[in-house]
Structure 1
Amino acid sequence: MGKPESPMGMMEIAGPSGQKRPGFLEGVLLLLLLLVTGALVTLGVLYAHSRAIKEPVKDEICTTPGCVIAAARILQNMDLSQEPCDDFYQYACGGWLWRHVIPETNSRYSVFDILRDKLEVILKGVLENSASKDRPAVQKAKMLYRSCMNEGVIEKRDSQPLLRILEEVGGWPVAMDAWNDTVGPSWALEEQLAVMNTQFNRRVLIDLFIWNDDQNSSRHIIYIDQPTLGMPSREYYFNKGSNQKVRDAYLQLMVSVATMLRADMNLSENSYLVWEDMAQVLNLEMQLANATVPQEERHDVTTLYHRMEVAELQNKFHLKGFNWTLFIQSVLSSVKIELLPDEEVVVYGIPYLQNLEEIIDIYSARTMQNYLVWRLVLDRISSLSQRFKDARANYRKALYGTTVEEVRWRECVSYVNSNMESAVGSLYVKEAFPRESKNVVRELIDKVRAVFVETLDELSWMDMASKKKAQEKAMSIREQIGYPDYILEERNKHLDEEYSNLNFSEDLYFENGLQNLKAGAQRSLKKLREKVDQNLWIIGAAVVNAFYSPNRNQIVFPAGILQPPFFSKEQPQALNFGGIGMVIGHEITHGFDDNGRNFDKDGNMLDWWSNFSAQHFRKQSECMVYQYANYSWDLAEGQNAYRKWVADGGKNQQLPGLKMTYDQLFFINYAQVWCGSYRPEFAVQSIKTDVHSPLKYRVLGSLQNLAAFAKAFHCARGTPMHPQVRCRVW
């Protein structure tokens, strides 16, 4: 519903090869693979490999460095003692899992995480490189990075920056002795929520934001929705078992931070008051969690969307005298926008607002203020001295399973990239992204999309009218690849204008962060009276991810994901199709999943499905639901775009040391994109919060349903990778 979703991506081209005898060349190159990568492949493993895999097609062998590196990577990642038809994930990724231990700083470690680590190394280099001719936007990004790295000043300033902003928001009652006597009587919830939203970009208690109107994607509108919570998932607030452990650690963090701030203000410890106040805050948040609707019940945007005027909003949701006009106008005033007499809003969170009425009635202004400020404090801990980060160590261990904080430079690189993505993206693209890759990826998108459109004809569950609409939507999907051109154009001032209101100081990291929060809020709110810019990028270039936006009917592939194993000009097309081609297909399919299918080719929420097709879509989906329900986590037929490329005359080259068919390489690279492992604590969280399947089941769940996979690896019917019953939707 309006925000980017979903990870993936990669692609390629093959280079020319030499003319030596194949047998000799394979032996020499295999030795080279071992030297280049440090891989130690035993003769026994090679024997198992030659026994298990079909002889390759008689194409020339590619000897370029790109092909050698790709072959070495594939061999290293595999576990050739496994049968591909029994557990293809272990077969493709067993070597990777054996060689990689989850770092103490990570809750998960995967191919994606390794690529992000490499990207961050590049960003570290460009951010630390001081150049006299940097444009203003880049200068500010480097200044922000230096302020983050200035640990000596951050430690010296300690809690003082936080204490100052607590005064500005009316104080944190738990860290004061006289809140009720001074601030309390003049306290207004509407104004406090507006301050949190506009000054600190914290949408607490009520989520008010500006986004494309689902029913008219050419304009922006105000949305009112249920908020996020302090912990990542609502389930943490009221289930027992491991959730109790997380909840206890969360409460202890609240108490610890409040106690530290009281000491910094020379107030008595008053542990009873602190515990009582924070226990009330947790109780309030537990009530809020219970009032929210689980995310799995919010996929159908057509049932969420309720447009109404502000007057109707006021009549329907009194919230014990809450003044909606005052709240909304206070938010809009921060960007000098006047609320119209007939202003419309879209309410997503009707069940939540109905439940909120009783909650507001139960809790005092003191508890409400304690909660609002706690959410601000929780967000700002990362900007404070080390003792505050140490205070949250137990909570992070319970939540993620991590025991060590990320090294400072990685934290700073990630922060600057998140807050100045266009400026940082320009540095990354100049340093590491081959710009000609844009056209190659665009060709791949066209091929994958063409096959998706063709395969719609095969669907017996969809009638012709709905197929035609689906084809129109697929052909109308717009793509953004790599980066927006303007970030590299020195004469184009748009990049510098994006950050014109920011003025950072090397010694004021905390305040620099507050500037970013306010700028982010204002950037969003200002859109209300602006026409939607369909060319606007929804994500930065230096990101290892890919996205589909239903409101824009748009797929986005940032430069950060257009690298091996997803994509490279120097590897065979079979790997590119199995990597970035898979990502492209994934993002296109998001336009037709249980959420994306509610939007038409122009990004408007419109039911373009016939009753027949809609009913059968649900029926086809039930097969997938049943299949995935039978997975437990201890911790389209023969058509695909790669085959079409080959049929159209595309030529591959054989990789050295790998006696595999191109179809097998296609599926192996697809699987190896998802190699990774989780800490148990994070596995629990991801099941609750991630709309995607765990890494292993992304591989098994999809390939079990493909006849082309079973054919490529000669899997007999009834084996785990060739079940008796297959599922297919698209």
Structure 2
Amino acid sequence: MVVHYSEGTLKSISTDSSISKTRSKRPFIVLGFLLIAFLAAMLTVYNQINANNKICATPYCAKAAKYLIESIDETVDPCGDFYQFVCGTWIKNSRTPNDSTILALLQTKLDDSIIDILTSSSTNDTNELKAIINASNFYHSCINEQHIEDEDINRILSLINNEFGGWPITQSSWDNSTFDLLNLLLKLRKYQNNIIFDIGTSINDKNSTEYALGIGQGGLGLGEREYYMNESKITVAYRRCMFDLASILSNDTSTIEQDVNDMYEFEKELAKHYWTSVEQRLRSNATIRTTVGKLRQLFNTTFDFTNYLTSAYASTNVTLMDSDLVIVEETDYLYNVSSIIEQVSPRILQNYVIWRFMMNLIGALPKRFRSIKDNFDHVFRGTTTEQARTVICGRFVNSVMGFAISKLYIKKYFDDNARNQTLEMIANLRKVFIDMLENSTWMDSMSKTKAIEKALAIDEQIGYPDYLGSDNVTELEI
């Protein structure tokens, strides 16, 4: 949700994760804190009572005890219904609405906390971290709806026309002589868009101490393949959204309907080869593991993925080595879509890519544009009203600046004892597991040694990285 459309701010524009799939694993640390707290509270009480064999009187124990006592329903006989005895009052006071879930309630609580953090964070404190100041400025920029209306979308249109090569559907004439899909996709990546193809960095699943480069399918406008298989209210509303957005930006609407149909048919072809999450799991053996230097030889397609990969990282001043590991996923999709692209006109490709950019951005535009998306969401999601601006902006800032938000959350809301107790529990489980291995009679010595090495190599990632809870700000400010 970007509203100050300066060049620097525009580089923070992100995709709408609720519709388009993203492979980048941004930190969503804070929600996990809520899930850790209850278990850690019980462990704290248990451990501190056991340590001295007497009542624990620390503030944390008092808080945990109060929470547990308030959950018990003492009107129920524990011998008759122990579950109702232990949880009855909590269930009564924490009734989940019919149209919601426990996770939705946790999300709402998290939203409120993030808004509180970003609203109360002062940008006048000279000792405040730059990352936190940027997050606060970003949030306040996002909720300033009057500024959004005043700025309109002139800067966005200037970006599209001058940097991306224009949006043919809104222009009476368009010159395709300089069209280059690879360069266009690279430019869109600067604004957090992985359209048609996705590339990124992740942990090597076979060696957690190393990183791997990844290539795979990009997201679809409707998210899943099934929506494109048959005509429905959703597909009609999707095309209407395209048409209305283009119409509001164009004085000549004579070609818009044809362009919309062409874009949709192109995306429908992409969807035929799109892998669902189930297929991704079942076809895990279809991935190609290679290196940057051997990628072109082992994964030979009409689209130059080697050039795309190296150029994308070079644009961020990262030089890839020939020996760097590359994992290619959804290979059938990549092969087929590479061929499809060769047969599609530059006009359709340019229209489609810019449409996806605008679709991802529309939530940051003035109200008359957002209302177009609201009409689509009413059909697609069943929503009747737009979420509160504070919630939209809070979630967006958390999605792109999660570590900065997490540092504030830890300081204000999270008791470090909860994390320490969970880490202690993991250490105890690891010790018991190793003891079981050492005492087993069915394993030979070599197998035991390898199993113990693997147990010791397990990486605990609980709550947040150590530096977020310390005074070390080097990694946060990188």
* Same structural fold, with TM-score higher than 0.5 when normalized by the shorter chain: yes
| Alpha-carbon distance between aligned partners in 2 of 1:379 and 1:162, rounded to the nearest angstrom | 13
* Larger mean Cα displacement after TM superposition, 7-16 or 184-193: 7-16
C-alpha spacing 1:307/1:165, structure 2 compared with 1 (3 Å): same
Give the AA of the match of 1:172. W
* 1:269 is the counterpart of 2:253: yes
Displacement of 1:435 in angstroms is: 2.1
Q: What's 1:158 paired with?
A: 152
Q: What's 2:296 paired with?
A: 313
Displacement of 1:367 in angstroms is: 0.7
Residues 255 and 278 in structure 1, CA contact (< 8 A), matched pair in contact too: yes
| Alpha-carbon distance between aligned partners in 2 of 1:196 and 1:424, rounded to the nearest angstrom | 26
| Alpha-carbon distance between aligned partners in 2 of 1:421 and 1:99, rounded to the nearest angstrom | 28
* 1:494 is the counterpart of 2:474: yes
C-alpha spacing 1:482/1:401, structure 2 compared with 1 (3 Å): same
1:35-114 paired onto structure 2 within 5 Å: 66-73=64-71, 75=73, 95=92, 100-102=97-99, 109-114=100-105
Residues 201 and 211 in structure 2, CA contact (< 8 A), matched pair in contact too: yes
Residues 407-430 of structure 1 deviation map (CA, whole Å, 9 limit, x = unaligned): 111222222222222222221111
1:93-172 paired onto structure 2 within 5 Å: 95=92, 100-102=97-99, 109-129=100-120, 130=122, 132-133=125-126, 134-167=128-161, 168-172=163-167
SS in 2 for 1:477: coil
* 1:230 is the counterpart of 2:224: no
SS in 1 for 2:70: helix
Displacement of 1:486 in angstroms is: 2.9
C-alpha spacing 1:132/1:309, structure 2 compared with 1 (3 Å): closer
Q: What's 2:238 paired with?
A: 250
Displacement of 1:158 in angstroms is: 2.2
1:306-385 paired onto structure 2 within 5 Å: 306-307=289-290, 313=296, 316-319=299-302, 322-338=303-319, 345-385=326-366
* Larger mean Cα displacement after TM superposition, 63-72 or 291-300: 63-72
| Alpha-carbon distance between aligned partners in 2 of 1:238 and 1:464, rounded to the nearest angstrom | 55
- Which of 372, 375, 379 is the aligned partner of 1:391? 372
Give the AA of the match of 1:412. C
1:473-492 paired onto structure 2 within 5 Å: 473-487=454-468, 489-490=470-471, 492=472
| Alpha-carbon distance between aligned partners in 2 of 1:150 and 1:236, rounded to the nearest angstrom | 35
| Alpha-carbon distance between aligned partners in 2 of 1:188 and 1:69, rounded to the nearest angstrom | 60
SS in 2 for 1:392: helix
Displacement of 1:400 in angstroms is: 2.6
1:256-655 paired onto structure 2 within 5 Å: 256-262=244-250, 267-270=251-254, 273-299=255-281, 301-307=284-290, 313=296, 316-319=299-302, 322-338=303-319, 345-450=326-431, 469=450, 472-487=453-468, 489-490=470-471, 492-494=472-474, 497-498=477-478
Give the AA of the match of 2:316. V
Residues 159 and 261 in structure 1, CA contact (< 8 A), matched pair in contact too: no
Larger radius of gyration, structure 1 or 2? 1
| Alpha-carbon distance between aligned partners in 2 of 1:451 and 1:224, rounded to the nearest angstrom | 40
Displacement of 1:97 in angstroms is: 8.4
Residues 291 and 322 in structure 2, CA contact (< 8 A), matched pair in contact too: no
* Larger mean Cα displacement after TM superposition, 116-125 or 401-410: 116-125
Q: What's 1:189 paired with?
A: 181
| Alpha-carbon distance between aligned partners in 1 of 2:268 and 2:375, rounded to the nearest angstrom | 20
C-alpha spacing 1:208/1:15, structure 2 compared with 1 (3 Å): closer
Sequence identity percentage: 28
Residues 225 and 271 in structure 2, CA contact (< 8 A), matched pair in contact too: yes
Displacement of 1:147 in angstroms is: 0.5
Displacement of 1:343 in angstroms is: 6.9
* 1:173 is the counterpart of 2:168: yes
| Alpha-carbon distance between aligned partners in 2 of 1:430 and 1:113, rounded to the nearest angstrom | 24
SS in 2 for 1:178: coil
Displacement of 1:64 in angstroms is: 5.4
TM-score by length of 2: 0.76
* Larger mean Cα displacement after TM superposition, 323-332 or 138-147: 323-332
Residues 83 and 91 in structure 1, CA contact (< 8 A), matched pair in contact too: no
Residues 136 and 496 in structure 1, CA contact (< 8 A), matched pair in contact too: no
Displacement of 1:255 in angstroms is: 1.4
Residues 314 and 324 in structure 1, CA contact (< 8 A), matched pair in contact too: no
Residues 77-101 of structure 1 deviation map (CA, whole Å, 9 limit, x = unaligned): x9x9x9999xxxx999975786525
| Alpha-carbon distance between aligned partners in 2 of 1:125 and 1:352, rounded to the nearest angstrom | 43
Residues 567-621 of structure 1 deviation map (CA, whole Å, 9 limit, x = unaligned): xxxxxxxxxxxxxxxxxxxxxxxxxxxxxxxxxxxxxxxxxxxxxxxxxxxxxxx
| Alpha-carbon distance between aligned partners in 2 of 1:84 and 1:248, rounded to the nearest angstrom | 53
State the number of aligned residues. Answer: 428
Displacement of 1:154 in angstroms is: 0.6
| Alpha-carbon distance between aligned partners in 2 of 1:66 and 1:315, rounded to the nearest angstrom | 57
SS in 1 for 2:462: strand
Displacement of 1:369 in angstroms is: 0.9
Displacement of 1:315 in angstroms is: 7.4
C-alpha spacing 1:91/1:15, structure 2 compared with 1 (3 Å): closer
Residues 148 and 366 in structure 2, CA contact (< 8 A), matched pair in contact too: yes
| Alpha-carbon distance between aligned partners in 2 of 1:96 and 1:327, rounded to the nearest angstrom | 54
| Alpha-carbon distance between aligned partners in 2 of 1:418 and 1:128, rounded to the nearest angstrom | 17
Residues 314 and 323 in structure 1, CA contact (< 8 A), matched pair in contact too: no
| Alpha-carbon distance between aligned partners in 1 of 2:468 and 2:325, rounded to the nearest angstrom | 35
Residues 537-584 of structure 1 deviation map (CA, whole Å, 9 limit, x = unaligned): xxxxxxxxxxxxxxxxxxxxxxxxxxxxxxxxxxxxxxxxxxxxxxxx
Displacement of 1:480 in angstroms is: 3.0
Give the AA of the match of 2:187. V
| Alpha-carbon distance between aligned partners in 2 of 1:234 and 1:176, rounded to the nearest angstrom | 31
| Alpha-carbon distance between aligned partners in 2 of 1:334 and 1:395, rounded to the nearest angstrom | 35
Give the AA of the match of 1:440. Q
Q: What's 1:563 paired with?
A: none
RMSD: 4.0
Greater RCO (Cα-Cα under 8 Å, separation 6 or more): 1
C-alpha spacing 1:372/1:314, structure 2 compared with 1 (3 Å): farther
